[in-house]
A = this chain, B = another copy of it.
Amino acid sequence: MSAQPTTERGRQTRARIVAAAADVVAEKGALGASLDDVGARAMASRSQLYHYFDDKTDLLLAVAQATNDAVLDAQRALFAGLDTWNGLVRWADALVEFQRQRDGRGGCPIANLVGQLGEREDGIRLVLASGYDRWETDIRAGLAAMVTSGELQPGANTDWLAASTLASLQGGLILCQARRDPDALRRALDGALALIGAYRGAS
């Protein structure tokens, strides 16, 4: 069984390993990432890796959790504004702008892990699914607030709209990634916005 660090030094070492592993996985893929790479980047020896993690799969599980946190934390400020139409538009604009800065490279880190490990590591798949759940919940909360404030009509199905919006985002990111074309994400999100916009209050 992998040991939980009990000292401050141990916590830092474990955190360094996970951060390094996330980097290496992003760069070389989950299967292509070697523990030698991870150890070198984390300035940690082999025994440290096996002190804190059972095996490579256990480490990848931690990487999946860290990836969820990174993706969602990066949007935290924008999520807070999702309770107004303008905030929703700003969120979409920011996502597109981010892809533009990266020239359409990279796609969604969570989706990449799903593609690499989703069919082969059920535990990791579940972690990634929980990341999507959190994402969808944040979107839904914003839409629900817009219903409460009257900015969206009371009849708007926020469960469905949130699910559909996250799907548009994820699909837009894949198309953007495959084509290196941020406009693909732009079109996808414009579709999601148009769908939500159909429920805007008459006011």
Residues of A bordering B, CB below 8 Å? 28-29, 31-32, 105-107, 111-116, 118-120, 125, 128-129, 132-133, 159-161, 163-175, 177-180, 184-185, 187-188, 190-192, 194-195, 198
**In the complex the two chains form, what is the Cα distance from A174 to B172 in whole Å?**
12
**In the complex the two chains form, what is the Cα distance from A55 to B116 in whole Å?**
21
* Residues of chain B within 8 A of A164, CB atoms compared: 168, 187-188, 190-192
- A202: min CB distance to chain B, Å: 17
Q: How many copies does the complex hold?
A: 2
* Residues of chain B within 8 A of A116, CB atoms compared: 29, 115-116
Identify the interface centre among A28, A112, A128, A163: most chain B CB within 10 Å of its CB.
A163
Main secondary structure of the interface of A (DSSP, over half): helix
Which residue in chain B gives the minimum CB-CB distance to A160?
B187
* Residues of chain B within 8 A of A165, CB atoms compared: 191
* Residues of chain B within 8 A of A163, CB atoms compared: 175, 184, 187-188, 191
**In the complex the two chains form, what is the Cα distance from A169 to B195 in whole Å?**
15
Q: Which 10 pairs of residues, A with B, have the shortest CB-CB distance?
A: A115-B115, A164-B191, A171-B171, A167-B171, A167-B188, A170-B171, A31-B31, A163-B187, A129-B178, A167-B172
**Contacts A178-B114, A191-B195 known; A120 to B171 CB distance under 8 Å?**
no
**Contacts A163-B187, A163-B188, A187-B160 known; A174 to B111 CB distance under 8 Å?**
yes
B129–A179 touching, CB < 8 Å: yes
